[in-house]
Amino acid sequence: MPLSPEQQAEIDALRGNPQPTLRTVAPGMEKHLYQARPVLDHGFVRVIDYMGDDAAICQAARVSYGKGTKSVQNDEGLIRYLMRHWHSTPFEMCELKLHVKLPVFVARQWIRHRTANVNEYSARYSILDREFYIPAPEHVNAQSEVNNQGRGDVLQGEEAARVLEILKADSARCYDNYEAMISADGQAGLARELARMNLPANIYTQWYWKVDLHNLFHFLRLRADAHAQYEIRVYADTICEMVADWVPAAYGAFEDYRMGAVTMSSQMVECLRRMLKGETVTKENSDMSAREWREFEEVIK
Amino acid sequence: MPLSPEQQAEIDALRGNPQPTLRTVAPGMEKHLYQARPVLDHGFVRVIDYMGDDAAICQAARVSYGKGTKSVQNDEGLIRYLMRHWHSTPFEMCELKLHVKLPVFVARQWIRHRTANVNEYSARYSILDREFYIPAPEHVNAQSEVNNQGRGDVLQGEEAARVLEILKADSARCYDNYEAMISADGQAGLARELARMNLPANIYTQWYWKVDLHNLFHFLRLRADAHAQYEIRVYADTICEMVADWVPAAYGAFEDYRMGAVTMSSQMVECLRRMLKGETVTKENSDMSAREWREFEEVIK
Amino acid sequence: MPLSPEQQAEIDALRGNPQPTLRTVAPGMEKHLYQARPVLDHGFVRVIDYMGDDAAICQAARVSYGKGTKSVQNDEGLIRYLMRHWHSTPFEMCELKLHVKLPVFVARQWIRHRTANVNEYSARYSILDREFYIPAPEHVNAQSEVNNQGRGDVLQGEEAARVLEILKADSARCYDNYEAMISADGQAGLARELARMNLPANIYTQWYWKVDLHNLFHFLRLRADAHAQYEIRVYADTICEMVADWVPAAYGAFEDYRMGAVTMSSQMVECLRRMLKGETVTKENSDMSAREWREFEEVIK
Amino acid sequence: MPLSPEQQAEIDALRGNPQPTLRTVAPGMEKHLYQARPVLDHGFVRVIDYMGDDAAICQAARVSYGKGTKSVQNDEGLIRYLMRHWHSTPFEMCELKLHVKLPVFVARQWIRHRTANVNEYSARYSILDREFYIPAPEHVNAQSEVNNQGRGDVLQGEEAARVLEILKADSARCYDNYEAMISADGQAGLARELARMNLPANIYTQWYWKVDLHNLFHFLRLRADAHAQYEIRVYADTICEMVADWVPAAYGAFEDYRMGAVTMSSQMVECLRRMLKGETVTKENSDMSAREWREFEEVIK
């Protein structure tokens, strides 16, 4: 994902020009601003703007006149309380704007999170770059045998090589033909809005994506999860690191009460209580399906 | 878009089984239920369910106990008033659920309308069918020379033939390779969530899409518009016909006050007033940009 | 909450007129249609319309052509899986429209659930009825001493009597003055949009409220919870009963995986694992705050 | 609306402490930050934070790496184009966070704009202040005789005096009784969540309200409109002044293409064309209802 010299120059110009503001400033986030953090082979995430910090969450929760902070410790306690008890509105008072470059098949998953603002690069209006996601060999996996929507072992040898060969060759040919169709050299040139249909889903697109912290946490919980597809998880992981620097108390609460938390069904809670009293509980006397029992065992082991 | 015999049998079974309900029934919509209306070469739109009718809009606007109708004529007057004065909430009280089959590049535009509910066929979980949109020759156009995001004249002769040949050949090859990669014959078989990235944007996908009437009208205004891309416009046009049968009064108001309406800027209104007083107004004395003046002339001519 | 004879007649007329439809019909919900279920002293909830049933959730999840059902048992298993794994979109494919009469202070809490459609009776346009919520004596509680936003013991004797007396007298006086101000008898008559400001928050208002099942479950989880204010909880409880009749499988999954479920933080899960291994875990060695430890003890006891 | 000395000190502290940031800074908005702009007798609006400026709208529309600006003039042209053609997403890339103090009956209208984030001062948790909106004599109007949801002439003499007397007396009495009921002096003290129901709708509440620029423009178009109730219009007018300083190009486009614009129905456009050709068009040969004709005449005169 090497930026062009012009792009890097634009970023440097923005980073070289601090200005005074009266707004809340989050020093941990200032260091990320505009920098392109590489993701996958040609993608990136970069922070374009942010609003608020940990103190702003508390200030809104208290509907206060000033900073609303008695102490950092107080604020952290309040934030943990708000997260634990599903008070979502104070977290909505922080906002993040990102510039993301990502393969189209990842973008299609990402866009399903509706409570966000998006401006995508238009392939009706502009010509897409010749950049395709080709997975690294260690991320070319077989279909999972136990999970219909998951991956199994890494492909080996000839099969892996053949897959990578196909992905590269088809991308290249489709793009060559895209270019040939829109070319105005000696022909009228196909409309871009039509020509784009020849491009496969591993081509890269870009967008500006703006979201509040509550909805961002929801996105991260689903997409940084172990069951998310690897290619979107790496974006979520990258954003997690940025958010940890931006709002450390909120991010800590998110880790404890969301990412690292477990929801136990009423049946699971009942079994737990029996086990803690010393009773031997098995799948047979648990009132759970086989699948739920397996999920339960994973939690308590 | 020939349905398989099984699919047609399922539709026939649903259509052959009327049941009594106490809910509002819209006879104009019952006739569309479950039928697949063909769109493009392999796509379709079919109504899965609906809630409400013209009277339900009025009933909600009046927060009434009963049908809320004094007469059909009264209802139509109220609906026109609500539409004209941007009272959107009564229209939100009707809901439509569609099953749509559409090319991925159309789906990508469509999904930008965020206030709707969507369940898309999952290519992580399932294998996509070998169905690709190949435009009819009369819809293979050159890039517009005046509009960066539009089409110009229909392509002719050799160029048109070459474009169609490319689209067909690349689709076929990409799909062959998709199938080869996921095959478990003598190999592990690539995960479906990875293999799908080899498929171009003219492959068909399907989804269930549910939306309220207010947001549907917003969708239709933008997508049934002459400036919308042809491939999404035909879907919008098809839905328009269904909506006209479902809520004729609301649809009529939509046509008069949205689709066929024109928004005039304060500058345009000012010019109009001067013209109606007999003054000669030209681009030069209009206080409009060249582009706005052109748009103004289109309206009043 | 006695309906007027006219209102009851309108409801009877609607209930006396079944019509054939090809849509999904949920027999359990048909019996509720239009009936006003009393809530509090003058309030009610009544079902105006619904879309979908348990099978429709599965049909959308499978993006299927027909009913999408292999068997009721299969459907229930799928629904429980979807709920357990936070697949929210299939539940969004069901929709409910209610007519609710409720005190203004309850309406102000309710409206904070933004993902819903609302038409409220307009006090700018119309005159409100003289109906105020006066709590039953067993629901007049003292401020909680442990919870800043909760209730303690029921008020007794003279204090309870005085409270009820005040609520009744102030409501009556405010309404008398509201009527006097808007009266056109021998005076111009104050605008209704101004006069309404004299009415206290226990006056009843009405609205049509339409919501999808996913967002309804979210509402019910928060508002049917033991920590919700009693006056909104009784509305949520009433709606729960309706939903249980409408989509029994989805409602059962909601009870097991949401209402009756417990979210355990990463610290809690860690403690649990230690306890199940036989270790003695106390607040001191738990890495939890006093408050979290108390919440943990409540779950496992 | 005099702030307490502590509140003013908190505001001064925030304004006295500029910090460097790399983010976009809008100098026109910095001057408003934290200042409480008085509205009505005890209300205010103050800017707590903002994200973006005119250039940020263009940057997002272009999905660019740097500031995305060629020149201020270019940017203004692009912004006007985006506004004229209903491209809403670039405007969503700016965000505003306000602290607002407002009467409850205004808050109830305001909250109907759902696409915003809100934290309201909780009367379950805290005790409300003794502050009520009492209209200035020049804003005490009679019910409109032509518009069911509007005001007519200003009330005069005795009637006006009586109205003001009632509003003041009932507010005072209700608040006295609210205080008496929650008092713990010699009694248990009624729960705050119950006591609040005795307070009339002219009591002031406060909230933090955060919204993107597109949705803010929608709010302003409806609420700064001549048909909006005076008491919410003054808030909208105040916010308009702030927005004009923040994003002058976008605000100018909003004035020309939204606030000052007129939507003409297909019938109106048809009449216009006939009139411009010299034809005499009257209500009778216009194909419009009496009401629409009146609205048409207002526009063109």
pLDDT in tens, A241-297: 999 999 999 999 999 999 999 999 999 999 999 999 999 999 999 989 888 899 899
pLDDT above 90 coverage of chain D, percent: 88
How far apart CA B273 and CA D297 sit, in angstroms, is 11
| Nearest beta carbon to residue C105 from set D152, D187, D197 | D197
| Nearest beta carbon to residue C229 from set D104, D190, D193 | D193
Pairwise CB contact (< 8 Å): D65 & A210: no
Residues of B in contact with C2 (CB under 8 A): none
Of the pLDDT bands very low, low, confident and very high (cuts 50, 70, 90), residue C69 is low
DSSP letters, D189-230, are: -B-HHHHGGGSBTTBEEEEEEEEEHHHHHHHHHHHSSTTS-H
How far apart CA A43 and CA B222 sit, in angstroms, is 31
Q: What is the pLDDT of residue A210?
A: 98
pLDDT at A51 > cutoff 70: yes
Q: Does D164 touch chain C (CB under 8 A)?
A: no
Half-sphere exposure of D300 (CA within 13 A, CB side): 20
How far apart CA C150 and CA B112 sit, in angstroms, is 42
Domains of chain B in sequence order: 5-133+202-259 (3.30.1360.170), 138-200 (no CATH), 266-300 (no CATH)
Residues of A in contact with B140 (CB under 8 A): 190, 194
Residues of B in contact with A143 (CB under 8 A): 182, 184, 188-192
Chain B interface test: which of D79, D262, D287 (most B C-beta within 10 Å): D262
Q: Which of D46, D84, D108, D223 is catalytic?
A: D223
DSSP letters, chain C, are: -PPPHHHHHHHHHHHT--EEESS---HHHHTTBT--EEETTTEEEEEEEEE--HHHHHHHHHT-SS---S-HHHHHHHHHHHHHTT--GGGGG-EEEEEEEEEHHHHHHHTT--SSEEEEPPTTTSPPPS-B----GGG-EEEPSS-TTSEEEEP-HHHHHHHHHHHHHHHHHHHHHHHHHH--TTS--B-HHHHGGGSBTTBEEEEEEEEEHHHHHHHHHHHSSTTS-HHHHHHHHHHHHHHHHHSHHHHHHHIIIIIT-EEEPHHHHHHHHHHHTT----STTTT--HHHHHHHHHHH-
Q: Does B255 touch chain C (CB under 8 A)?
A: no
Residues of A124-150 as b/e, b for ≥16 C-beta within 10 angstroms?
A: beeebeebbbbbeeebbbbbeeeeebb
Q: Token digits for C292? A: 């979290």
Task: Please give the positions of B annotated as active site.
Answer: 223
How far apart CA C79 and CA C65 sit, in angstroms, is 18
> What length does chain A have?
301
Chain B interface test: which of D258, D264, D271 (most B C-beta within 10 Å): D264
Report the chain B residue with the minimal C-alpha distance to residue A167: B198
Question: CA distances (Å), B281 to each of B288, B289, B293, B296, C31, in order?
Answer: 11, 14, 11, 12, 66
pLDDT at A69 > cutoff 60: no
Mean pLDDT of chain C: 94
- Identify the bridge partners of residue D286 per DSSP, sorted by sequence position: none
Pairwise CB contact (< 8 Å): D144 & C170: no
Nearest chain C Cα distance for residue B231, angstroms: 22
Mean pLDDT of chain A: 94
Closest CA to B197 of A237, D121, A136, A134: A134
Nearest chain C Cα distance for residue D6, angstroms: 24
Contacts of residue A108, Cβ cutoff 8 Å, sequence gap at least 6:
A201, B104, B108
Q: In degrees, to the nearest 5, what angle opens at C-alpha A39 toward C-alphas A33 and A42? A: 105
Q: What is the pLDDT of residue A12?
A: 92
Q: Token digits for B106? A: 């159309």
Pairwise CB contact (< 8 Å): C166 & D181: yes
Q: Does A34 touch chain D (CB under 8 A)?
A: yes
| Nearest beta carbon to residue D119 from set A23, A63, A118 | A63
| Nearest beta carbon to residue A14 from set D33, D67, D119 | D67
pLDDT at B1 > cutoff 70: no
Low-confidence ranges of chain D (pLDDT < 50): none
Q: Does D191 touch chain A (CB under 8 A)?
A: no
Pairing type for strands C117-120 and C141-143 reads: unpaired
Pairwise CB contact (< 8 Å): C261 & A264: yes
Q: Does D289 touch chain B (CB under 8 A)?
A: yes
Residues of A in contact with C268 (CB under 8 A): 261
Tell me the Cα Rg of chain A: 24
Residues of C in contact with A147 (CB under 8 A): none
- A–D CB contacts, 8 A cutoff, strictly below: 147
Pairwise CB contact (< 8 Å): D200 & C202: no
Closest CA to B250 of B110, B92, B115, B114: B92
| Nearest beta carbon to residue C170 from set D108, D177, D194 | D177
Residues of A in contact with B157 (CB under 8 A): none
Predicted ipTM? 0.94
Pairwise CB contact (< 8 Å): B264 & D261: yes
- Which segments within chain B are labelled E, that is strand? 19-21, 37-39, 43-51, 95-103, 117-120, 141-143, 151-154, 204-212, 262-264
Pairwise CB contact (< 8 Å): D265 & B256: yes
Pairwise CB contact (< 8 Å): D166 & C177: yes
Q: What is the pLDDT of residue B291?
A: 86
Closest CA to B82 of B254, B211, B263, B280: B254
Q: Does A56 touch chain D (CB under 8 A)?
A: yes
Least confident of A21-30, A170-179, B260-269, C46-55: B260-269
Pairwise CB contact (< 8 Å): D152 & C188: yes
How far apart CA A73 and CA A79 sit, in angstroms, is 10
| Nearest beta carbon to residue C300 from set A222, A273, A299 | A273
Task: Pick left, alpha or beta for residue B34 (phi over 0 → left; psi -120 to 50 → alpha; otherwise beta).
Answer: left
Cβ count near D275 (within 10 Å):
17
Of the pLDDT bands very low, low, confident and very high (cuts 50, 70, 90), residue B68 is low
Closest CA to B93 of B107, B82, B104, B105: B82
Q: Are B294 and B287 spatial neighbours (Cβ–Cβ below 8 Å)?
A: no
Q: What is the pLDDT of residues A131-169, one digit of tens each?
A: 999 999 999 999 998 888 899 999 999 999 999 999 999
Chain A interface test: which of B148, B168, B197 (most A C-beta within 10 Å): B197
Task: Please give the positions of A annotated as active site.
Answer: 223
How far apart CA B32 and CA B236 sit, in angstroms, is 16
Of the pLDDT bands very low, low, confident and very high (cuts 50, 70, 90), residue C148 is confident
Residues of B in contact with D265 (CB under 8 A): 84, 256-257, 260-261
> What length does chain B have?
301
pLDDT at C76 > cutoff 90: yes
pLDDT at C71 > cutoff 80: no
Q: What are the backbone dihedrals phi and psi of residue A229, each rounded to the nearest 5 degrees, phi first? A: -65, 135
Report the chain B residue with the minimal C-alpha distance to residue C92: B117
Q: What is the pLDDT of residue C67?
A: 66
How far apart CA D185 and CA A293 sit, in angstroms, is 55
Nearest chain C Cα distance for residue D140, angstroms: 7
Report the chain D residue with the minimal C-alpha distance to residue A100: D63
Q: What is the pLDDT of residues B231-280, one digit of tens each?
A: 999 999 999 999 999 999 999 999 999 999 999 999 999 999 999 999 99
Q: What is the pLDDT of residue B70?
A: 61
Query: Between helices B72-84 and B54-62, what is the axis angle to 10°?
Result: 70
Q: Does A173 touch chain B (CB under 8 A)?
A: yes
Residues of C86-97 as b/e, b for ≥16 C-beta within 10 angstroms?
A: ebbbbbbbbbbb
pLDDT at A1 > cutoff 70: no
pLDDT at A68 > cutoff 60: no
Q: Does B60 touch chain C (CB under 8 A)?
A: yes
Ligand-binding site membership of C213 (annotated): yes
Q: What is the pLDDT of residues B8-49, one digit of tens each?
A: 998 999 999 999 999 999 999 999 999 999 999 999 999 999
